[in-house]
A and B are shown apart, each in its own frame.
Chain A
């Protein structure tokens, strides 16, 4: 079975400061890992994904995440927060041996960006 834990339900940062969103996963096999972002009253949009290639993954809007198998983590970072980064972020795991593309979502981290 696979599972995802997002360690912070809310994160508050000041504009221009770094953002760190923490994610730990559990998977029996070799997972694919994703970060999706959801702006208020919108659908989800892919930020980045890890599919067993490079462990440091770069995504859109300056975000990146590092896959650390030994720590079962996939934390999302951005060097400098922008007001437009205020949104909810979901860490997602998909186990390649599971039947089909069954995504398991974390509970989400809501990011507040202060001016």
Chain B
């Protein structure tokens, strides 16, 4: 039981390049989330998927797109990377999209945009 896995662990991009961050969970959870973590700001929600087939914007969605490929997988795409997107990205999942559910986090992807 791996929990939440993310690939890649590290990535360096040049401004304007595109890439997709992958996330998968093996806990049969319905809801999945993408966050970015910047120093002193905690985590901020980029996009979430309450259930398979649905996605919604979070607090900071600009410059990102997501795909809920199936119940297990939720990917985050940067179409044209910018230096402001340098951050650590975390994927998380919960059994249900309700406020008291514990979120389970992946190990993160460190992204540097030059």
Chain A interface (Cβ < 8 Å from any Cβ of B): 4, 9, 31-32, 34, 36, 41-46, 49, 51, 90, 92, 94-96, 98, 100-103, 105-108
Contacts and interface: CB of A to CB of B under 8 A. Distances in A.
B99 A94 contact: yes
Interface string B97-110: 11111110111100
B44 interface: yes
A41 to B, nearest CB: 8
Interface of B is mostly: loop
B100 A105 contact: no
Contact of B42 (A43, A46, A90): A90
A101 B49 CA distance: 10
Given A32-B100, A43-B4, A96-B100, A105 B107 contact: no
B40 A108 contact: yes
Given A100-B50, A102-B45, A108-B42, A43 B107 contact: yes
A90 B40 contact: no
Nearest to B106: A43
Contacts of A43: 4, 90, 105-108
Contacts of A95: 99
A49 B40 contact: no
